[in-house]
A and B are shown apart, each in its own frame.
Chain A
Amino acid sequence: MTYIAKPKFHHPGLKKNELGYTHRDYEGKISTLCAGCGHDSITASIIEACYELSIEPHRVAKISGIGCSSKTPDYFLGNSHGFNSVHGRMPSVLTGANLANRDLIYLGVSGDGDSASIGFGQFAHSIRRAVNMTYIVENNGVYGLTKGQFSATADRGSKSKKGVTNTDNAIDLVAIALQLGATFVARSFSGDKTQLVPLIAAAIRHKGASFIDVISPCIAFNNHTGSTKSFDYVREHNDAVNRLDVLVGRDPISVDYAPGSVQVVEQHDGSKIALRKIDADYDPHDRLGAMTFLQKHAAKGQIVTGLLYVDPEADDLHEHLNTVETPLNTLEADDLCPGSAVLDKINASLR
């Protein structure tokens, strides 16, 4: 559908953010995904979150792998550089890009085929390295672009559109991310924009490895009875532990919460996450507790959503490597080359 040019004009009264940008400035090309695809809702949520945060669109680098989800960076932030790399390799490409310029915002977009199978290793290692990024998996449990094969996140016992039952165990990327030391871990549902938008916003503001697993039903191949990633199934089994608002550099907007039910988490950059607790016992600062909670609810067939874990004081790969504040890609010969006098000394030491 990209042959349909998207009109550039918009209503003069369209709301603007702090930078004077409207929603439209955060949009990209028209999606070529199927009408009703969950991924398009995630795209809309990313646009909303970036607008809300008043991010300069061109200061985001969008990196993806291969698959339906990985095509989506073309559909948002049209003024950002995007990189649709190779299958399962988004994490390494993003890691390299991040090392080259620590000043940009890195948004990694992947799918369950991309991250839980061929890219499972790179997913794991980018998280354990604490790359400062927002890693979103658009999880539909199915290979959409190749027409409906099971992916590694498909639940055991779930049925494909053709009626085949999946006999393999599912990989829960959220559980793995927690185990690997991700410092921001969340799960959401593409159909729940009110939960998803602030989660993406908070993840972007988080310094360190942020991971969001977004269950995103495949309208073409995984939205039938017997699927555990369909709109109906997820709505029925969604168990949200909290809802949040992200507050950046402005007074908290009036929140109509019951007193005592709001927990404010201040992140490294000064932004605040206001968490409305739904499950009173859930503590998002307890990694072990989160892992146990997840397993218990999974056993009951429930899909736990919300901000599951956050370490607001996390650090990142650049701190581990003690790199200079100046982006490495701006350094020139004067900064980098030790020069001929040093080389003469090196030569002398080699005789």
Chain B
Amino acid sequence: MPDKKPISSVNDFVVRFANVNGSGSASANELFARAILRHGVPVSPRNIFPSNIQGLPTWYEVRVTEAGHLGARGGVDMMVAMNPQTWDKDVAGIEPGGYLFYDSTKPMPSTKFRDDITVIGVPLTAIANSTYTDPRQRQLFKNIIYLGALCALLDMDPKVIEQLIGEQYKGKEKLLSSNVHALHLGRDWALQNLKCPIGLRVKKADKVGDRIFIEGNSAAALGAVYGGATVCAWYPITPSSSVAEAFTSHCKKYRHDPETGKAKYAIVQGEDELASIGIVIGASWNGARAFTATSGPGISLMTEFIGLSYFAEIPAVIMNIQRAGPSTGMPTRTQQCDIIACAYASHGDTKHVLLFPEDPAEAFEFAAAAFDLAERLQTTIFLMLDLDIGMNHRLCRPLKWDDARQYDRGKVMTAEMLDEGRDFGRYLDVDGDGIPYRTYPGTHPTKGSYFTRGTSRDRYARYSEEGTVYADNMQRLVRKFETAQDLVPRPLQANAERPTKYGVIYFGSTAPAMDEAIGLLEARGHQLDRLRIRAFPFHSSVASFLAEHDFVYVVEQNRDSQLRQLIVNENGIDPVRLVPIVHYDGSPITARFIAKAIGDHQDQLKVTPLRKAVS
């Protein structure tokens, strides 16, 4: 017996699988997460993987959370240690009182264990080897065998897993039955040889509702399909590649003409990010909705074209699935580190619209909206995802679409309008919103053509190096950016129960951890009003929020507190009042981290917790 009481918890614990990349564990682990969901219990899984295809360590962490906390929690209650390479670190990472599950085929010296945890050995290799002869089968089914053992240990309903296997291998009877067989091999062995269940248990609940389980990249790609993107040009880069891959697979299903079989889309894998954004700019200039998906290094390469898009006023949608930088950085680790790089991308004076979805549902909505915004504003729109949202399955509300919705194609002057004698100046602000009309190439035999260029020109697109003409255009671009403020998604504010002088600003993938942290902070007696920023340029409510609070914490996942810099810069705020709370080690931010950082700062401020003041 361990010298620490084993953790006892129903529907609230973290299981981490330590595997070797390429061992086929991913599908078994995902099956585990889905099975818990089918018990009506929310889960939040995360892939922690190296920049490697085969051989290096990889982890899959499943947070089981009936309360619905979808952020990473930190700490591990049960380690499924399948990788000898990382054994020592994995064992050390288990919470006191936690559980270690391992393959006991080969005996391990007692020094390799800990006294304060429960050790559960299952001879997985022995079971697999005695059942299967094919080496690949032995490896793959070993994963399903441990899933079966976990099913017994955590008191899960095997029928639920069987049903999921049935759905996965529908029509492939042989695979279906052999997977179910392997599942029972593990489960039976555990039931016969171990004390089942352990302290960690899954109990059926009804906390998932109609929510869906989807990766942010796939949802964003679906948003592009619904938003009417017809041209996608991209260059492979982790963690963004699955956006273009998902777009391809969605288009294959939903975008072929039923009669001719022809494609209502064009996808080009560019030779690099320069070509990808060039293709997007060319297609958008010519009136198609086009996008690219990339990550930090790709943004660096695309910067020249982004400046052209700003200055020549050509729509573009760039999905940036952020990863830890700078340079190659940590390609498979998450960060929110390209805020400044995207907001001010390019030489010269530029500003760009950024959208910050918090989860796949918003990734879908904002992706579709990005195409309307790009054409309305005739500029680049960044959809700022990150690896944590993009490459992990996340529970979120179902995706919604209003069939009455038409695309906003922005201000496009047609041949009819030109024939009516409308004055066409490509860079002429006729409506006072800073947005000029454009024409598509090929519109009219004698009217409406213009020469697009990145050089300075007058309101009628005629080349000019006159200082006043240049400044006039730059001022109009400022007006246009002000117009953008009211078109982009507004911040969402949630106030504390009692009036407070303290606020917190956060965005994107930090949201679930922040929501959870508020509960932890309230338990410590700290009241905070919350503002989730969903876009740049900042809506005026951001300035109001800052004015209403003495101190505002800005929580983000980068070293230099980039959103805070942007807020200070754009609102002329005294930086002292904005307290940076930054997490940037490449792992997703946790509620525990946020609550500690903010709580400690509040304590330093000598804030008397309300609870104490009351008592």
Residues on A lying within 8 angstroms of B by beta carbon are 2, 56-59, 61, 63, 73-74, 78-86, 89, 91-101, 103-104, 121-122, 124-125, 129, 317-318, 321-325, 328-333, 335-340, 342-344, 346-347, 350-351
Contacts and interface: CB of A to CB of B under 8 A. Distances in A.
Contact of B441 (A61, A124, A324, A335): A61
Nearest to A330: B287
B260 interface: yes
B441 A122 contact: no
Interface of B: 37, 208, 210-214, 222, 225-226, 228, 230-231, 233, 254-255, 257, 260-268, 270-272, 274-288, 290, 304-305, 308, 398-403, 405-407, 439-446, 449-455, 462-463
Contact of A324 (B257, B271, B284): B257
Given A58-B445, A83-B452, A333 B231 contact: no
B231 A96 contact: yes
A58 B271 contact: no
A86 B230 contact: no
B290 A86 contact: no
A322 B265 CA distance: 9
Nearest to B441: A81
B401 A340 contact: yes
B263 A96 contact: no
A86 B308 contact: yes
Contacts of B213: 350-351
Pick the 10 closest A-B CB pairs, nearest first.
A96-B282, A92-B278, A100-B288, A329-B287, A81-B441, A96-B279, A100-B286, A96-B283, A93-B282, A350-B212
A99 B288 contact: yes
A96 B292 CA distance: 12
Contacts of A331: 228, 230, 264
Contact of A343 (B281, B399, B453): B399
Contact of B308 (A80, A85, A317, A328): A85
A98 B276 CA distance: 14
Contacts of B406: 332-333
A80 B441 CA distance: 7
A100 B283 contact: yes
A84 B275 contact: no
Given A328-B231, A328-B266, A350-B214, A86 B304 contact: yes
A86 B263 contact: no
Nearest to A335: B264
Contacts of B284: 96, 100
Given A84-B455, A85-B278, A350-B214, 16 more contacts: A58-B441, A81-B439, A81-B449, A86-B305, A92-B281, A96-B288, A99-B230, A100-B282, A101-B288, A322-B261, A323-B263, A323-B265, A325-B262, A328-B230, A331-B228, A347-B212
B233 A96 contact: yes
Contact of B264 (A93, A129, A324, A351): A324
B271 A125 contact: yes
Looking at B228, B263, B283, B287, the one whose CB has the most chain A CB atoms below 10 A away is: B283
Contact of A99 (B257, B266, B275): B266
Contacts of B463: 2, 74
9 contacts: A58-B449, A92-B278, A93-B279, A93-B281, A97-B285, A97-B286, A101-B442, A122-B278, A124-B271
Which of B254, B262, B285 has most A Cβ within 10 Å? B285
Nearest to B225: A338
Nearest to B262: A324
Residue with the greatest number of chain A CB neighbours at <10 A, chosen from B288, B290, B398, B442: B442
A95 B403 contact: no
A81 B450 contact: yes
Contacts of A325: 262
Contacts of B226: 337-338, 343
B230 A100 contact: yes
Contacts of A57: 445
Contacts of A2: 462-463
B240 to A, nearest CB: 18
Given A58-B444, A86-B454, A328-B266, A101 B287 contact: yes
Nearest to A77: B449
A121 B228 CA distance: 30
Given A328-B265, A333-B228, A337-B226, A96 B286 contact: yes
Contacts of B37: 351
A351 B285 CA distance: 40
Nearest to B360: A350
A100 B276 CA distance: 14
A89 B278 contact: yes
B168 to A, nearest CB: 12
Which has the most chain B C-beta neighbours within 10 Å: A94, A324, A339? A324
A103 to B, nearest CB: 7
Contacts of A94: 282
B35 to A, nearest CB: 13
A328 B286 CA distance: 10
Contacts of A317: 266, 268
A61 B442 contact: yes
B271 A122 contact: yes
Contacts of A129: 268
Contact of B401 (A74, A93, A104, A343): A343
A2 B463 CA distance: 9
A27 B249 CA distance: 46
A73 B452 CA distance: 11
A99 B442 contact: no
A338 B228 CA distance: 10
A66 B547 CA distance: 48
Contact of A92 (B230, B263, B282, B440): B282
A329 B286 contact: yes
Contacts of A343: 226, 399-401
A305 to B, nearest CB: 30
A79 B446 contact: yes
Contact of B452 (A84, A104, A344, A351): A84
Nearest to A83: B452
A58 B442 contact: yes
Contacts of A63: 282
A18 B257 CA distance: 37
A46 to B, nearest CB: 15
B283 A342 contact: no
A125 B272 CA distance: 10
A129 B446 CA distance: 33
B455 A333 contact: no
A339 B403 contact: yes
B401 A339 contact: yes
Nearest to A28: B451
